[in-house]
Structures are given as structure tokens and as C-alpha cells.
Amino acid sequence: MDIYGETIASRLMLGTARYPSPEILERAIAASGAGIVTVSLRREAAGERAGRKFWDLVRETGVRVLPNTAGCHSVREAVTTARMAREVFGTDWIKLEVIGDADTLQPDLFGLVEATRILSDEGFKVLAYTTEDLVAADRLVAAGCRVLMPWGSPIGSARGLNNVYGLRALRARFPDLTLVVDAGIGVPSHAAQAMELGYDGVLLSSAVALAGDPVKMAEAFRLAVSAGRLGFEADPLHPRDMAEPSTPVLGQPLLGQAVFA
């Protein structure tokens, strides 16, 4: 998976919040094979001692860190958080979130485009949490974004891909852009479906952290993402309205009614 010119071996990205314990988080990251983990600046800075321990744990995994602006509801708040994250984490990568609705946590697309333009002009490499809206995607690309992260469904809903048509249309509109499905993934089959649509990656969080066995679920998602990508690359059959025999009939004996002269 290509992220701003850097090749990431894994197509799975993993959130780091709400795990039962630091040990389980560490084991889940390893089991997932994730190439990138997301970290909220607010979580890291919640308590000086706790934040330092958490940051040390994440660094020891050796996985690339992607800070995010989770919980930001305005352009000013998101931009300020991104600037602070660059100082804290030492990276110009930022997963940009500007939330517009408190119930669905749907992105504020207008604010997202504005914040993307500001941060891109400041040298940030923006990974934008967005919807499958094609017009918004065009605006984000024009503002400098090279990685779009459309939601599958609302954050934490575990409903999977609510608008497969929209996600397919987005993939077709931007065949050369890195697209990662983010939010709403609940089970491994959802992740496989996203990969079968031709998406470059999947970002998971609650689906792993809140599972009965986060480590086992992390491994399941690793396998699902790999299987989905292989299925896409294998050029699968497309749905059809009529049946087509799976066994060839050419050369087969035909049994019918006897004809008497």
C-alpha cells in the first residue's frame, strides 16, 4: 500500500484505543500484522505518566504511527491538534477528522476540505476521514489530499459497508489514488468485502479492541484483508442475472425421448 510515496507492507491499519490492557493491545498489534497504528493526541496527552507509558509501548512495536484529530468538531480545533501532533509524534502524516454530527460522527465535509487545504499548504500529508461523496472527494484532492479514507458506516456501528455502490463509484473515479475504508467495520467479512472492491486498505479499531478476544480477532482481520485483496487481484466473476452452467455441455451425451421411424 502506497502512502505518500512510502510503501507499507500491510494493508491493515489498527486503532489503539479502548483495549482491555496494554499487554492485549501489544499482542493484538502483532497478531494483526498492521503496518500503521493510529494514535489520538488527546489520548496520549490525557495524563503525563500514562501517556508516556502508552507512547513507549506503541514505539516498541516498531509499527508506523499515524496521529489523528479524533474528536475535533471545527476547522480551528482540527488544525491546532494536527500542529501539536506533528510536534509530539515527529511526523507530518495526519489522519484528519472534522466531525460534523454528534450522533452519527459523520465528517463535516466543508470543514474537512478547508482544514485539508490549510494543512497541505503547511506541508502535512493528509489522510482524510470522509464519506463516499464524489464531489467532496474531488475537492479534497484539489486541496492536496492524496489518501482518502471513506467510512463504511458510522464509527463504532459495526454495520459494515452501507453504500457499496458509492464506494465502488469512488474507487472507479480515483483508480490511482490510495483509498482506505475507515469506520463501521465490524467483522472480518466486512474487511474482505472492502478489499474485494479494490480498496487499498482498511482501518479498524473497535471491531478488534472490543471483541471478546481482541488478539484472535486481530488475526482474523489480518487473514480477511489478505484474502480479500487476493480475490480482487484474481479478477473474480461478476454477478449475472441468468444461470450459466459450471459444467461444459460440449461433447456430452444428450438424453431425450426416443424417436421411432
Q: Which residues are catalytic?
A: 95
Query: Does 246 show up as a binding residue in the annotation?
Result: no
Query: Does 85 show up as a binding residue in the annotation?
Result: no
CA 211 from centroid of its chain's CA atoms = 18
Query: Does 31 show up as a binding residue in the annotation?
Result: no
Q: How far apart are CA 24 and CA 6, in angstroms?
A: 29
Rg over alpha carbons for the chain, rounded to the nearest Å, is: 22
Query: Does 156 show up as a binding residue in the annotation?
Result: yes
Q: How far apart are CA 65 and CA 43, in angstroms?
A: 14
Query: Does 46 show up as a binding residue in the annotation?
Result: no
For the packed helices 75-89 and 109-121, what is the interaxial angle rounded to 10 degrees?
40
Q: Is 98 helix (H, G, I), strand (E, B) or coil?
A: coil
CB 57 within 8 A of CB 51: no
Nearest Cα to Cα of residue 45 among 54, 37, 35, 36: 54
Number of helices (H) and strands (E) in the chain: give both, helices first. 10, 10
Q: Which residues belong to the annotated binding site for 1-deoxy-D-xylulose 5-phosphate?
A: 156, 183-184, 205-206
Q: Which residues belong to the annotated binding site?
A: 156, 183-184, 205-206
